[in-house]
Amino acid sequence: MANPNQQVVYTKLFINNEFVDAKSGKTFPTINPANCKKIADIAEADKRDINILANLESLDNGKPFGDSVFDINCAIDTFRYYAGWADKIHGNTIPADGASLTLTRKEPVGVLFINNEFVDAKSGKTFPTINPANCKKIADIAEADKEDIDAAVEAAKKAFARGSEWRNLDASARGRLLYKFADLVERDINILANLESLDNGKPFGDSVFDINCAIDTFRYYAGWADKIHGNTIPADGASLTLTRKEPVGVVGQIIPWNYPILMLAWKWGPAIAAGCTIVLKPAEQTPLTALHCCALAKEAGFPAGVINVVPGYGPTAGQAIAAHPGIHKVAFTGSVDVGKLVMEAAAKSNLKKVSLELGGKSPLVIFDDCNLDEAVEIAHNAIFANHGQNCCAGSRTFVQEGIYEEFVKKSVELAKKRKVGDAFAADVQQGPQVNDMIFNRILKYIESGKNEGAKVEFGGKRWGNEGYFIEPTIFSGVTDGMTIAKEEIFGPVQSILKFKTLEEVIERSNATNYGLASGIVTNNLNTALVFAQAVQAGSVWVNCYDAVVPQAPFGGFKQSGAGRELGEDGLDLYLETKTISIKLPTNN
C-alpha cells in the first residue's frame, strides 16, 4: 500500500550485521524532493567507519590493510556510480520507417529460484507478465524449460538426501521455520497484495483476504510438523509391528492463476510439514507473489534446495515436472484436460503419486423456505467472487419455482450495485479477467447462452474500453441442456435454473461430470441433510458457500480431481507409510 507517511526505521550504519551510530556521531539529512522537507537524519560514515570495514576485510580475507582500504573506496565509488543511475534508466526512441513512434523501455526481469538463489533461465528466454486491467506489461519473467527443471530437481534431491541439513532438522524445527515464514508473509502482506492484484487483477482487498487465508494455512501446517506419527499394531505372533510416516521425497507442484498465493500455501504448507522438498511452477500469468515468497523463504532460513520455483509454460516446464523421474509426487490445480495430461505423464514416467484439484460446475440449490434476501446474497457471492474465476463457484443456481421470479429480480438488483473497475480503485468488488483468452472465452459463452434461448437479465457485455473487464451477467430461463449449464465458464456469469422438488434437484445436480462442491439454502434441516448425503460433491455448504478452511479437506468427486487438499487428508498426500515388524522372543 502506498504510504506517504511511512515511518523511517533504519538511519544508522550497518556494520558486521549490526546497525550502529557513526564513530563521529555526525549525521546528515535525507530530503523529500516532493516538498524539500527532511525525512530523517542518517548516520554519516567517515574514515573511522571505513577503517572498521577494512579491518574486517583484512581479518577474514588476509589482504593487506591498505589494499582493503583501497577496495572499500572503490566499492564506495561503485555504489555512488549506480546511485546516480537510479533515475536515469531509460529506453530509446528509434527512427523507424513509416508514420510511427517507436521506442524501447527498460523493464525489471523476474528470475527463477533454484537452490536458494535467484538465477536466469538456462536458455536466457523470458516471457512477459501482463496487468489485465490495462493490458500493459509489468515485467519480463525468466522462462524455465526442461533444463531448468532438471537443475531444480537436482537441488531438491540434494536437499532431501540422507544426512542433509533439511533431513537432520527436528520436526519441530520444520514447524518453526514454517511459522517464521508465515510471519514474514504477514509482514509483507501489502507488498504481496499489490503484486497479486497487479498480475491477477483481483481487487486489492480481496488479495489481502487471500493472503491472510494463506497465512492461516501455513500456520495450520506448521502446527502439524511434529505431530505426524505412525501406530503400533497388535499383529499375530511374537512380534512388534508398527508404522512410520515418512516424507514422499521431491514433489512437483503446479498451481493456477486464479488464487496464486493461496494455492501456493495449499501446496507448500503440507509438503514442508511432511519434510518434502519442492519444485513449484506458478502459472505463467501470475508468477510475482511466488517469486517474492522465495525471498521470504530464504530469509526465514530454509536450507538451500528445499524450495525451488520455476516460472514457465505448461507444455514445457509443466510437462517436465509431471514427467520427471526424479520427482516422487506431483500436485496440480487447473483444468480437467491438463489434469489428464499430468496424470498420463506421471504414469508413463515413474508412476509418481498424483493429486489433482480440477474444475467444477457446482450446484447451489435455493429452497422456498429460505430467507430470500440472504439466499440472493449467498448466490451472488458464490458466482461473482473472484470475478467468477473459481473452481468451486456456484455456477448453477437452482431456485424452487415458487420464489423463482422474485429471486431473479432481487439478484439483478444486487448485481447492478456491484462495482467493477481497477483493482486499486476504492470500493471495487470485481476486477478484470486474467487475460485475453479467458476474457474472449467468457464472452463466447455469453453469446452461446443468448443463442440457445436463455434470457440476459443483466450484463452480458464487456465493461469499459480497456482491460479484460466483463459485466456481472445474469441469465434466467436456463435449462440443463444449454452449454452455459453444462460447461465451466470460469467467469462472472450466473445461470439461474428452476426446479420443483428435492428429488428432482438432486438428480439434476448430479447430472454432470464434475463433483467439486455444492450448496443448499433452506431452513429445513431434514432437506439439508438429505441433499448433503445424496449430492455427489466433495464439499457441501449449508446456508453458506465457499466455506473453505485449512482444517477441513477440500477436493472433488468424478472429474473434479483426485485426492484432497487441506486438513490432515492434504498432509497424507505428502507422506508414505512404512510398516516395520520386529520379532520378539516371546508373545506378550
Residue type at 326? G
State how beta strands 136-142 and 109-110 pair: parallel
CA angle 155, 159, 160 (to 5 degrees): 120
Burial class (CB in 10 A: 0-12, 13-18, 19+), 396: buried
Contact 271, 181 (CB under 8 A): no
Concatenated DSSP letters of 311-341: ---IIIIIHHHHH-TT-SEEEEES-HHHHHH
Contact 281, 318 (CB under 8 A): yes
Does 357 participate in catalysis according to the annotation?
A: yes
Q: H or E segment at 233?
A: strand 232-233
Cβ-proximal residues to 1 (8 Å cutoff; 6+ apart), any chain:
190, 193, 194, 204
Say how far apart CA 223 and CA 269 lie, in whole Å: 10
Contact 173, 267 (CB under 8 A): no
Say how far apart CA 321 and CA 396 lie, in whole Å: 34
Task: Give the largest CA-CA distance in the chain.
Answer: 95
* Cα–Cα distance list, 415 to 103, 200, 409, 420, 471 (Å): 42, 22, 10, 10, 9
Map residue 33 onto helix, strand or coil: coil
* Cα–Cα distance list, 39 to 20, 22, 24, 26 (Å): 19, 19, 21, 16
3-class secondary structure per residue, 417-463 = CCCECCCCCCCCCECCCCCHHHHHHHHHHHHHHHHCCCEEEECCCEC
Among 540, 486, 539, 475, smallest CA distance to 508 is for: 486
Residue with cell 467467469: 491
CA angle 546, 549, 553 (to 5 degrees): 95
User: Which cell goes with 276?
Assistant: 518434502
Say how far apart CA 308 and CA 88 lie, in whole Å: 34
DSSP 8-state class, residue 302: P
User: Which cell goes with 64?
Assistant: 593487506
Helix, strand, coil percentages for the chain (3-state, nearest 5):
40, 20, 40
Contact 63, 54 (CB under 8 A): no
The catalytic position among 57, 357, 457, 488 is: 357
* Cα–Cα distance list, 77 to 45, 54, 73, 81, 82 (Å): 14, 15, 6, 6, 9
For 124, half-sphere exposure in the C-beta direction (CA atoms, 13 angstrom radius) is: 0
Contact 403, 372 (CB under 8 A): yes
Give catalytic residue positions. 357
